[in-house]
């Protein structure tokens, strides 16, 4: 006899204490009575015994895992953590979103390659390790944004303009741990970009980030969330972009330019706060319901 949804035990892989992680854990607890937030950096993976322990809890005994975050900062360590979780998918333990899908989006270059294979329009972008080619790119773009391969919320990004200080700025960026330089032309935007959200591949809503005094729209830099009802063409573009990754919950970053809508990236994890502050939409509760509805029930 199958257990009811109320009896299910779903752990949230995330950053203990962070808003989105705790919101999802609260939502799952409200629906099941079980609550567990797992800091993936504090687990031990025993390959021979096929166990993944967090304290005294073997995660392999649970009904599923929900990945909200995989660490407080984006870094190559994410791949190692996702690999541990990927093993458990082979044991038919449901994981939302599947680790191999997240891997395609968590690295900016991997995300870009997938978007380009899918013919998704993006701002002009160049990737190189060569200083001279990087300088030539800035001269061609006039103004460019240098982006770390692992980052979120514009952390570590650098705006570089052609001119006397161009080379020194690029050298400093590369020396700070960015051997491979991801260089994107700074495009003119109407003071905002859009987060187009999807759950299970279905569109659920859009919020805008209106920039403050900074060059970027991130709320950590003074940006504000606001309501947005985009044109069907933008929703269609974002839908095509997210479909390349097959994530259970994600937000597609879209920018409106004078050359049409373009995609910056598809989020590996998606965000709840934009939908909540712009629309009052409890995406965490919706996602908890989605997870329970899509569990592969076991006897």
Helix axes 131-141, 166-175, angle to 10 degrees: 130
pLDDT in tens, 31-71: 999 999 999 999 999 989 888 999 999 999 999 999 999 98
Identical fold at 5-96+285-293 and 125-185? no
Q: Could you tell me the CA-to-CA distances from 170 to 139, 162, 188 in Å, in that order?
A: 12, 11, 22
Specify the DSSP element, H or E, that contains 135.
Answer: helix 131-141
Calculated CA dihedral for residues 102, 94, 87, 115, nearest 10 degrees = -20
pLDDT > 60? residue 297: no
Domain 188-268 sits in CATH at: 3.30.470.20
Calculated CA dihedral for residues 149, 154, 160, 166, nearest 10 degrees = -60
Instruction: Reply yes or no on domain 125-185 having CATH 2.60.40.
Output: no
Domain 5-96+285-293 sits in CATH at: 3.40.50.20
Report domain extents, the chain.
Answer: 5-96+285-293, 125-185, 188-268
pLDDT > 80? residue 4: no
Tell me the Cα Rg of the chain: 20
pLDDT in tens, 265-295: 999 999 999 999 999 999 999 999 999 999 9
Peptide bond into 97 cis (omega under 30): yes
pLDDT-based confidence at residue 215 (cuts at 50, 70, 90):
low
- Contact in structure between 10 and 17 (CB atoms under 8 Å): no
């Amino acid at each position: 006899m199958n257990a009811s949804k109320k009896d299910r035990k779903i752990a949230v892989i995330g950053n203990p204490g962070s808003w989105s992680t705790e919101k999802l854990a609260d939502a799952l607890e409200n629906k099941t009575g079980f609550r567990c937030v797992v800091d993936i950096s504090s687990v031990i993976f025993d390959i021979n015994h096929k166990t993944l322990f967090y304290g005294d809890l073997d995660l392999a005994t649970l009904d599923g895992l929900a990945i909200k975050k995989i660490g407080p900062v984006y870094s190559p360590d994410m791949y190692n953590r996702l690999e541990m979780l990927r093993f458990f998918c082979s044991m038919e333990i449901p994981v939302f979103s599947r680790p191999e899908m997240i891997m395609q989006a968590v690295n900016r270059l991997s995300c870009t390659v997938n978007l380009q294979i899918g013919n998704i329009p993006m701002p002009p972008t160049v990737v190189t390790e060569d200083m001279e080619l990087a300088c030539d790119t800035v001269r061609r773009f006039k103004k460019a944004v240098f982006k770390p391969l692992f980052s979120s919320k514009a952390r570590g990004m650098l705006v570089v303009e052609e001119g006397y200080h161009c080379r020194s700025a690029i050298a400093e960026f590369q020396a700070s741990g960015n051997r491979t330089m991801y260089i994107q032309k700074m495009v003119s935007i109407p003071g905002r970009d859009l987060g187009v959200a999807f759950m299970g591949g279905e569109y659920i809503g859009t919020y805008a980030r209106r920039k403050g005094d900074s060059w970027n729209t991130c709320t950590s830099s003074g940006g504000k969330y606001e309501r947005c009802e985009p044109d069907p063409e933008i929703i269609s573009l974002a839908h095509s972009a997210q479909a390349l990754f097959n994530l259970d919950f994600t937000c597609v970053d879209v920018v409106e330019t004078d050359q049409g809508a373009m995609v910056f990236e598809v989020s590996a994890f998606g965000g709840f706060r934009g939908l909540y502050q712009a629309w009052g939409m409890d995406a965490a509760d919706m996602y908890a319901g989605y997870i329970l509805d899509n569990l592969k029930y076991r006897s």
